[in-house]
Amino acid sequence: MQYRVDPKSGNRISALGLGCMRFPGAPGRPDAKTADAIISRAVEQGINYLDTAYLYPGNEACVGASLERLGLRDQVLLATKLPHASCKCAEDFDRFFDEQLRRLRTDHIDYYLMHNITSPAQWERVVALGIEDWIARQKAAGRIRQIGFSYHGSAADFLTVLDAYDWDFCQIQYNYAGERYQAGTAGLMAAAERGLAVFVMEPLLGGRLAGKLPPRARAVLDGARDPHLRTPAAWGLSWVWNHPQVTMLLSGMTDTAQVDENAALADRALPDSMTATQLDAIARVLREFEKSNRVPCTGCGYCMPCPKGINIPGCFAAYNASYAHSWFTGLSQYFTASAVRTSEPKLVSNCVKCGKCARHCPQHIDIPGRLDDVRRRFQPGPVTAVLKAFGKTRSS
């Protein structure tokens, strides 16, 4: 495993980190046996950084129990996140943090983040509640080792947040389709210049730069015939690792085979190691990808559940697929996502524009507005009435 050094702490961190949010299992109940297998294999392969969060249903408890069963807590750097938007008074910091320590079955957090910062105002609000003194006390007591934030706001606001506190690290979304999105390349460089460790999330844009690439984009990579970069995922991850300013990237690996594949790749993907030919291939892939990337949804699920039962990520995936592959492919996916063949189809036309989804979207997508685009694409004219009638017919 390749290791990169956190400039603030001196910690040697595996270039590949394990993102635990997407562990397989039922909603809110990650499968313990699978989690054990993934975490165990990750540590065997040299991965020493695990990322979870209070807001990932059931995930902290799953990770904590797994580390305890496997006896691996002292072999990993453990990261989790404060749901700062739910903190209404200073006492809430302790309330959430103490619960996280109990869930994770530990007495300290190695890397603690303010979760999903989208604007300087969010940080200023918790500063007014006394977060800076609270952090200082936790660090002095050894309960928090490093403090940072995960970011989903604009490029300009990122610099403001970066300079608002003496952070140890930051976590940004970064991939070859997002050099000018959110913090972007400019933010990556700015954080590194300030001596912060920079951790990368969504290196494959929720899988869309892996198995969901449009055929013409995939053809570019297949045509490159690179002996070391045999899959779109390998190309995408290696592009991120090519940046020496990146300390570590997180991958939400869902089985041990993915752990093995990504760990082998991480061992070779050194900074500044991609050739001009490889980088040109990425540029050509990006041109093809952008033609079909109509909605920048990563499938994170923060928008769910919808009060009307609409499968928002599934509908957006179908919409993008209709441009990347074919209209019929997208329509088929939409029928599946919206449960058309049941007695209660969850069509995008059921949206009442309450705005709950948009308020929680880290990509700042105008979800109600884009669901209208999905409706126009898949439910033109009288189709909505026909689909609803079809559902009623199926139930009779």
- pLDDT, tens digit (0-9, with 9 covering 90-100), for 178-200: 888 788 899 999 999 999 999 99
Q: Which of 150, 110, 122 is nearest to 21 (CA)?
A: 150
Instruction: Tell me which residue has tokens 């990650």.
Output: 30
Structure tokens at 149: 């934030």
- Give the CA angle between residues 376, 382, 387 to the nearest 5°: 90
Where is the domain boundary, 219, 250, 275?
275
pTM score: 0.78
Task: Please write the tens of the pLDDT for every residue from 97-138.
Answer: 999 999 999 999 999 999 988 888 899 999 999 999 999 999
16 secondary structure, DSSP code: E
Is 232 a member of any domain? Answer: yes
Where is the domain boundary, 228, 248, 275?
275
Residue 177's domain comprises 3-275
**pLDDT for residue 394 is more than 60:** no
Where is the domain boundary, 275, 303, 334?
275
Structure tokens at 154: 């604009």
Cα of first residue to Cα of last residue in the chain, in angstroms, is 59
Kindly state whether residues 85 and 199 are assigned to the same domain: yes
**pLDDT for residue 175 is more than 50:** yes
Lowest mean pLDDT among 55-69, 162-176, 238-252, 305-319: 305-319
Structure tokens at 364: 């700042």
Task: Please write the tens of the pLDDT for every residue from 231-243.
Answer: 999 999 999 999 9
Is 280 a member of any domain? Answer: no
- Gap between the Cα atoms of 335 and 299, Å rounded: 18
Q: What percent of the chain has pLDDT over 90?
A: 57
Q: What is the pLDDT of residue 387?
A: 59
Kindly state whether residues 17 and 84 are assigned to the same domain: yes
Kindly state whether residues 270 and 354 are assigned to the same domain: no
Kindly state whether residues 121 and 261 are assigned to the same domain: yes
Structure tokens at 90: 């200073």
Is 238 a member of any domain? Answer: yes
Is 298 a member of any domain? Answer: no
| C-alpha separations of 347 from 31, 45, 351 in Å | 30, 44, 8
Give the count of domains, the chain.
Answer: 2
Q: What is the pLDDT of residue 48?
A: 97
Q: What is the pLDDT of residue 309?
A: 87
Mean residue pLDDT of the chain comes to: 89
Is 293 a member of any domain? Answer: no
Is 195 a member of any domain? Answer: yes
Reported as type and span, the H/E element at residue 13 is strand 12-14
3-state secondary structure of 75: helix
